[in-house]
Homo-oligomer: A and B are copies of this chain.
Amino acid sequence: MVRWLAFVEGAERLDPWGAVEIKDYDRLLKVFGIRPFKELIPLLSKAGMEPSHLMMRGIIFGHRDFDKIIEAKIRGERVAVLTGFMPSGKFHFGHKLTVDQLIYLQRNGFKVFVAIADAEASIVRKIRREDAIRIGVEEYIANMIALGLDPKETEFYFQTNRGTPYYRLIQLFSGRVTAAEMEAIYGDLTPSKIMAALTQAADILHVQLEEYGGYKHVVVPVGADQDPHLRLTRDIADRMEGLLALERPASTYHKLQPGLDGKKMSSSRPDSTIFLTDTLEEARRKLMRALTGGRATAEEQRRLGGIPEVCSVYHMDLYHLMPEDSEVRSIYDSCRSGRILCGECKLVAWRKLEKLVEEHQRKLEKAKDIAWSVVEVPRF
């Protein structure tokens, strides 16, 4: 199995707002009680779900209770998936990783909910309202639709106008957590972080209310750094017993795709990732400059082979560009054996990326129009 080798060791506590790089996924499984995803492959088949390349490659590496969701699906019960995006910056390949999972689940019969986290954007990041709304619709929703998410089968919403029962949950939840618990999970505590955390919990849990469809079997696909939110939300669900019957949400965990500069992908460092709206020229430039696992000299690389595990271009292939296993295996072997050098390998990736970006952008203009029509825009 191909594994992404960690860049840095450390960081026992995960910080979903920070920029901590997650290292040792095995330890994550051990310390936080996340189950290995691979154990679910037989169950998925039983449910008629062909595992995706993200699952087979260990990119989706862990889960909590996702088996229960699949079992519910096998019993014929309704299942749903929920995720949220902070409407800041531009939509990049890190976001696509999550959207690909939504599309996979949607095609396998899951109802999809997408929160545009504009409340968080304004309270935690101080993003201007009009920007948050435009980015939410034209960057996030539009790109999701262009990637293939079916807007007719997806419920997009802004956190700030989700209605009374949703807000009511936020209020209720505030009485079910202590300052000490939140501090243990998130480090220092501010009113805005508390509000953001409780709002996320409401995002995850509100679809269980009748007002929002009454979906009791909900999975949340997240990056490994988002687990603190899930742990908190699961605890909150338990504590509502007697007042509201809320099931614990299930979750799946994917590895964080390494940025093109070797650090964490982030909109705030444009060269760390490729935006799906980058011009072809720009996308090409970023890919060609990306950090690879090549050696100091061509001679050395031919002799020793490259190190795909630390190569950001290889990870683009692995996550996005080469869904066919044979193809990615062939690149991996060519690199390890020194038969292909980085320049050539980048050109292989570029031909795939160019096609993907071109096709995507062709769909994007129309998707923008659709995007404005499928979500209710908040007033202020």
Contacts and interface: CB of A to CB of B under 8 A. Distances in A.
Given A175-B124, A178-B190, A194-B174, A161 B164 contact: yes
A126 B175 contact: yes
Interface in A136-166: 159-165
Given A129-B243, A380-B243, A191 B168 contact: no
Indicate the member of A123, A124, A194, A196 with the most B CB atoms within 10 Å.
A194
Nearest to A190: B179
A370 interface: no
Given A164-B167, A172-B123, A191 B194 contact: yes
A199 interface: yes
A126 B164 CA distance: 20
Interface string A111-124: 00000000100111
Indicate the member of A159, A162, A175, A244 with the most B CB atoms within 10 Å.
A175
Nearest to A164: B161
Contacts of A196: 174
Q: This chain: how many copies in the complex?
A: 2
A170 B192 CA distance: 10
A123 B175 contact: yes
B123 A174 contact: yes
Contacts of A168: 119, 160-161, 378, 380
Interface string A165-209: 101101110110111001000001111101110110000000000
Contacts of A129: 243
A379 interface: yes
A122 B161 CA distance: 23
A191 B177 contact: yes
A171 B160 CA distance: 8
Interface in A195-242: 195-196, 198-199
Contacts of A379: 165
Given A165-B379, A379-B165, A380-B165, A182 B172 contact: no
Nearest to A173: B191
Contacts of A189: 179, 189
A203 B175 CA distance: 19
Contacts of A124: 175
A116 to B, nearest CB: 14
Contacts of A122: 171-172, 175
Given A191-B179, A243-B380, A163 B164 contact: yes
A40 B13 CA distance: 57
Nearest to A162: B164
Contacts of A126: 175
Given A122-B172, A177-B191, 5 more contacts: A123-B174, A168-B378, A168-B380, A170-B195, A179-B191
22 contacts: A119-B168, A119-B171, A122-B175, A126-B175, A129-B243, A161-B164, A161-B168, A162-B164, A163-B164, A165-B379, A167-B167, A168-B380, A170-B195, A171-B195, A174-B194, A175-B192, A175-B195, A179-B189, A194-B195, A195-B195, A195-B198, A243-B380
